[in-house]
Amino acid sequence: MNFKRMKKSSFFFLCSFLLSTGSTFAQKAPAPYGAVPNKNQLAWQDMEYYMFIHFGPNTFTDKEWGHGDEDPKVFNPTKLDARQWARTAKAAGMKAIIITAKHHDGFCLFPSKYSTHTVKESAWKNGKGDVLKELSAACKEYGLKFGVYLSPWDRNHPKYGTPEYNQVFANTLKEVHTQYGPVFEQWFDGAKGEKEKNQDYDFKLFNSIVRANNPQAVIFSDIGPDARWMGNESGVAGTTNWSTLNTDGFGVGAAAPAATVLNTGNEDGKYWIPAEVDVSIRPGWFYSANTDDKVKTLKELVSIYETSIGRNGNLLLNVPVNREGLIHPNDSTRLMEFRKTIDASYKTNLAKGKKVTVSNTRKGAQFTAANLTDGHPATYWATDDQLKTAAITIDFGKATELNRLVLQEYIALGQRVKSFSVEYLADNTYKTLDQQTTIGHKRILSFPKIKTTKIRVNILEANACPVLSEIAVYNAPDL
């Protein structure tokens, strides 16, 4: 073959042919196990931390669940500044903001054509304001993603409880999903008052509106389809937390699986529906001057970080906006302290670039154990297919103090690890530090400071050969 006379395109073809046949000699990447995330869910999981904002008439009436008969004129946040919210979220290290476009009281923070209980009827800006418009612009300016909460339960709308309501809600949803730019997450609340008008929600219709207008959006509800409620509002995901869930035959609200099931997921669940941890920085979801001195402490927030992001969940932290239309300084100050602490805690990965010895490595340079400590979540180590256990030893080369261990699975191939233990070398023998169950996107173990030259992670049980992307260790400053 005359390479000189060969066309450029055929040369590339030949190269890729040789490469592809060459790679059949190396072992293939592990087959995905069970349900796996789609690309929206993968991108969403990497966001980890974002802001929830509860805001509406309740802010002005000191209620958590408005009845829907509040005078819309009470809504008058005279100093509203969505850029302050976005600036605060950004400085806090958050990646997005999700706002209550419509809570249970039915009040819309935007001028909906399908309701007479909206900002249009409020005193704010003489009825000319639009909170969603201001917030989506501010999010764009600060490089944050924009998300919306809408409650299907509506205590104001006259059609609620009639067959027409589902279409009304779908229309409202469509306004939100077509007028404010890309939406990264749709948050559907499952709460519904008992002994009130009832409505069978048409989630098939609702989800189709979201999919049609924001195909990249992750849809959250008690049962997904894309992200699930984690079963409590205190910020504590299960120590066992599978991103898979069985939802056939279940619904939102009362029809959802038990909270204990949502808290841990289902091992080998049929669908990939990872947990999102929603929790408020104050005792209530809405702002109240009564809770100005009850903002969660730094210690509480750090603990929540470890029981949410550190347990394979995303953290949606609610920061309620006050009656002026601003985030109160008590909340923003705490958010900055929190970020500073998290940054300092996870700043220096003491395992980065350190020597890793493993019990087995799958054939092929791309699966090398060095991938475990390269600091890149996109590279991973894997074992041969038939193995369901493994041992990984990291040698620090010198006595090293540490109090945090972070493990990550390469979840694009599914969640596989069922249990693992961690040991450290002390006086020439390995001592057990901890034994836990699942890992998923991220698992953080926090423990009193140890000093050691080596740690060993034992994968004790897995549903398919282990595929881990990172093992990191830190020496977080004391609080």
Which among 238, 300, 279 has a CA at the least distance from the CA of 439? 238
Read off the amino acid at residue 477: P
Q: What is the CA radius of gyration of the chain?
A: 25
Using CB distances below 5 to 8 A depending on partner kind, what does residue 61 bind out of ligand FUL, Ca ion, none?
A: none
Using CB distances below 5 to 8 A depending on partner kind, what does residue 469 bind out of ligand FUL, Ca ion, none?
A: Ca ion
Using CB distances below 5 to 8 A depending on partner kind, what does residue 105 bind out of ligand FUL, Ca ion, none?
A: none
Looking from the CA of 432 toward its CB, the CA atoms found within 13 Å total 6
In the bound complex, what is the minimum distance in angstroms from residue 265's beta carbon to ligand FUL?
20
Q: Enumerate residues 6+ apart whose C-beta is below 8 A from 109.
A: 55, 56, 99, 100, 101, 102, 118, 119, 130, 131, 132
Asked whether position 379 contacts Ca ion by CB under 5 A, the answer is yes
Among 6, 28, 64, 167, binds ligand FUL (CB under 6 A): 64
Question: What whole-number distance in Å separates Cα of residue 451 and Cα of residue 94?
Answer: 33
Q: Are 245 and 179 in contact (CB under 8 A)?
A: no
Read off the amino acid at residue 120: K
Looking from the CA of 275 toward its CB, the CA atoms found within 13 Å total 35
In the bound complex, what is the minimum distance in angstroms from residue 286's beta carbon to ligand FUL?
8
In the bound complex, what is the minimum distance in angstroms from residue 255's beta carbon to ligand FUL?
14
Asked whether position 469 contacts Ca ion by CB under 5 A, the answer is yes
Asked whether position 189 contacts ligand FUL by CB under 6 A, the answer is yes
Residues binding ligand FUL: what is the number (CB under 6 A)? Answer: 5
Among 188, 201, 285, 287, binds ligand FUL (CB under 6 A): 285
319-330 per-residue burial string, b: 16 or more CB within 10 A, e: under 16: bbbbbbbbbbee
Which span (149-157, 224-232, 263-271, 377-385) binds Ca ion, by CB under 5 A?
Answer: 377-385
In the complex with ligand FUL, the residue whose CB is nearer, 64 or 164, is 64
Asked whether position 376 contacts Ca ion by CB under 5 A, the answer is yes
Among 136, 308, 345, 371, binds Ca ion (CB under 5 A): 371
In the complex with Ca ion, the residue whose CB is nearer, 326 or 369, is 369
In the complex with Ca ion, the residue whose CB is nearer, 230 or 372, is 372
In the bound complex, what is the minimum distance in angstroms from residue 440's beta carbon to ligand FUL?
23
* Alpha helices, H only, 121-188: 131-141, 165-179
* Alpha helices, H only, 214-328: 259-264, 298-307
Distances (CA, A) of 101 to 189, 403, 470: 12, 41, 38
In the complex with Ca ion, the residue whose CB is nearer, 43 or 426, is 43
Using CB distances below 5 to 8 A depending on partner kind, what does residue 383 bind out of Ca ion, ligand FUL, none?
A: none
Using CB distances below 5 to 8 A depending on partner kind, what does residue 44 bind out of Ca ion, ligand FUL, none?
A: none
Cα 306 → chain centroid: 13
In the bound complex, what is the minimum distance in angstroms from residue 311's beta carbon to ligand FUL?
19
Q: Enumerate residues 6+ apart whose C-beta is below 8 A from 428.
A: none
Q: Which two tokens stand for residue 467?
A: 């595929």
Q: Residue numbers of the site for Ca ion (CB under 5 A)?
A: 371, 374, 376, 379, 469-470
Q: Residue numbers of the site for ligand FUL (CB under 6 A)?
A: 64, 189, 191, 278, 285
